[in-house]
Amino acid sequence: MQSRSSGIISHTIALLGVLLLTVNVSEIKAQQLPTTLKLERALVGPDDRPLSNSAVDLHVRGDTLWVAGGKGLDVTTDGGGTWQHLGDTAPFDLEAIAGIAAHEHIMWASLAGSEETDQGSLPKGLGLAVSMDYGRTWSVIPQPMEAEGMSTYEISYGDNTINALAVTTDINNISYDIAVTSRAVFIASFAGGLRTSTDGGQSFSPVVLPPDQIDAISPDETLDFDLSPVNRPDLGLVESLNHRVFSVHAMGDDTLWVGTAGGINLSTDGGVSWRKFSFNNQSEPISGNFVVAIGHNIIGGVTHVWAATINAQNPIEHRAVSVTTNMGETWRTALRGEFTHNFGFKGEVVYAATNSGIYRSDDAGYGWVGVSRFVDTQSRQIAAEERCYAVAAIGDDVYVANADALMRTRDDDMQFFGQEWTIFRAAQAVTIAGEAYAYPNPFAPDDEVLRIRYHTGPGGMVSIRIYDFAMMPVRTLLQHASRTPDSEHDEVWDGTNNEGKQVANGVYYIQVIADEGSPVWIKAIALQ
């Protein structure tokens, strides 16, 4: 959903599974959602932990948790006791997943990567994966865009002809969010705008949203504006921030909420007519026009719609959570100053995943409890990253994802939310002194930390030093430090040197000495 995709080296995905995509969705008989999914096993890595430590989206189906991670999809049906990985086979191929959504048996996932350009590393859409059988099998389609060589094209909207910018690149054309209904799938992209498919992904059409200067549109009006996320005077096109789309949320087949860089858009007729809510056009508005996540729950019989609203161009906008109880007519704000990435719900309880941890409210957002330190009660492992990207609940278990781990806590009458945590981490067991390794490897210091996993000897003393490719000292992490003897441990390197400066891309050597034993050497690669 947002600004939620971690950097990863990308590659081209070919069109696979055309036969599956030609099935008419309306002809597939809806099935009862199974309590537990029996997936065909396509395993990489151990089955007692997820494949990736970084995750940006979570999806719950019955008792099944889907984790959209930095290396494809991870799935657990038993609360994290065992895992199935859909990461090393097409269409996922260890690529990052930017978002996942479903309706009954139909599931969609967005494939994300990055590419080095003259402007630095930019996000890149690698296509969409679709499953018609509860996620058991998947096919992939390319990132939706116009044909190479096009510059503009025309869209018929009622009796109007809308000039539109042709998006012919997958750079900055990444689908940050997905909404699935019984009739269609909607994808939210920065460059590509809002697009929809009603034929299982065989074709995608752009959805016309109001421009910045108009607050509502319908096809029976006479309209004159362009559909373009950027200003292109050379093509005669004027940009609208409301055409830069970051989030989409469906409430049934007809009611759609869309968050952009220009506000929140509501359609109650399946995406045909729209009304826009912004910081600028209401007396009780959202806090900011950059809207990166939307969700809803029912509290006291009243529908509450929640939006992560970030300051955009107006200097008096601010970061906050904005909530409406009257379908956008008025908004109130909470968690002022927080950059929220996503929402999760357990009945009337709402959870907000933010840059400074996870927040919980059980009184419709008037009061919040926040947690920013995550320590595993049993292993004493610590999640080094407080910024959280996603949250979801299965019963009384609440799962939280960030760039360092997937975590679970209990939220019920017996145990208060955030009191105890279980951390699930992609790591191999290290059972004897003299063994050590580092993960994830390569790692991106801008987005994640490197973990050094080792086993202490009987004395429990350890030293860890990091050297560059020329064997010059870079960082001393531990110097004769005391740790629990004969135990497995993690230490964190944030990719900085002894002066606190981030290291350059390249190869680094890590020396681990347990007690007074022989050094163990690990090679790690820093790669942005």
Going by pLDDT thresholds of 50, 70 and 90, the confidence category of residue 2 is very low
Helices then strands, each counted (H, E), the chain: 1, 41
**The pLDDT of residue 5:** 39
**The pLDDT of residue 7:** 32
The three-state secondary structure class of 27 is: helix
Q: What is the pLDDT of residues 309-368, one digit of tens each?
A: 999 989 999 999 999 999 999 999 999 999 999 999 999 999 999 999 999 999 999 999
**The pLDDT of residue 445:** 85
Q: What is the pLDDT of residues 256-271, one digit of tens each?
A: 999 999 999 999 999 9
| CA 424 remoteness from chain centre | 17
Residue 382 has pLDDT above 90, yes or no: no
Sheet holding 488-493, edge to edge: 436-439, 450-455, 488-493
Least reliable range by pLDDT among 31-40, 208-217, 313-322: 31-40
Q: What is the pLDDT of residues 110-126, one digit of tens each?
A: 999 888 888 888 889 99
Does this model's pTM top 0.75? yes
Residue 60 has pLDDT above 70, yes or no: yes
**The pLDDT of residue 1:** 39
**The pLDDT of residue 13:** 21
Residue 12 has pLDDT above 90, yes or no: no
- Residue 465: closest CA among 515, 522, 383: 522
Q: Which residue shows structure tokens 């003897």?
A: 485
**The pLDDT of residue 468:** 95
Residue 278 has pLDDT above 80, yes or no: yes
**The pLDDT of residue 34:** 30
Going by pLDDT thresholds of 50, 70 and 90, the confidence category of residue 54 is confident
Q: What is the pLDDT of residues 189-205, one digit of tens each?
A: 989 999 999 999 999 99
- Alpha-carbon span 69 to 72, nearest angstrom: 6
Torsion angles phi and psi, residue 3, rounded to 5: 15, 25
Helix (H), strand (E), coil (C) string for 76-145: ECCCCCCCEEECCCCCCCCCEEEEEEEECCEEEEEEEEEEEECCEEEEEEEEEEEECCCCCCCEEECCCC
CATH 2.60.40.4070 residue ranges for the chain = 436-526
**The pLDDT of residue 46:** 52
**The pLDDT of residue 26:** 25
Mean pLDDT over 222-236 rounds to 97
Query: ω into residue 123 within 30 of 0, thus cis?
Result: no
Q: What is the pLDDT of residues 169-183, one digit of tens each?
A: 999 999 999 999 999
Q: What is the pLDDT of residues 400-416, one digit of tens each?
A: 999 888 999 999 999 88
Contacts 24+ apart (CB under 8 A), 80-84: 80/406, 80/408, 80/422, 80/424, 81/48, 82/47, 82/48, 83/46, 83/47, 83/48, 83/49, 83/50, 83/51, 84/39, 84/41, 84/42, 84/43, 84/47
Q: Is the separation of the CB atoms in 372 and 386 below 8 Å?
A: yes
Q: What is the pLDDT of residues 294-310, one digit of tens each?
A: 999 999 999 999 999 99
Mean pLDDT over 200-221 rounds to 97
**The pLDDT of residue 330:** 98
The CATH classification number of 436-526 equals: 2.60.40.4070
Q: What is the pLDDT of residues 433-460, one digit of tens each?
A: 878 989 878 888 876 788 899 999 999 9
Sheet holding 461-468, edge to edge: 473-482, 461-468, 506-514, 520-526
Sheet holding 369-371, edge to edge: 340-346, 349-354, 357-361, 369-371
What residues are paired with 211 via a beta bridge? none
Q: What is the pLDDT of residues 80-112, one digit of tens each?
A: 999 988 876 778 887 899 999 999 999 999 999
Q: Which residue has the higher pLDDT, 125 or 382?
A: 125
**The pLDDT of residue 373:** 92
Residue 4 has pLDDT above 90, yes or no: no
Least reliable range by pLDDT among 74-78, 215-219, 353-357: 74-78
Contacts 24+ apart (CB under 8 A), 374-380: 374/400, 374/405, 374/407, 374/421, 374/423, 375/421, 376/421, 376/422, 376/423, 377/420, 377/421, 377/422, 378/422, 379/423
**The pLDDT of residue 88:** 65
> Taken in order 463, 52, 112, 143, is the CA torsion positive or negative?
positive
Q: Is the separation of the CB atoms in 254 and 274 below 8 Å?
A: no
- Alpha-carbon span 36 to 432, nearest angstrom: 37
> Taken in order 74, 76, 80, 83, is the CA torsion positive or negative?
negative
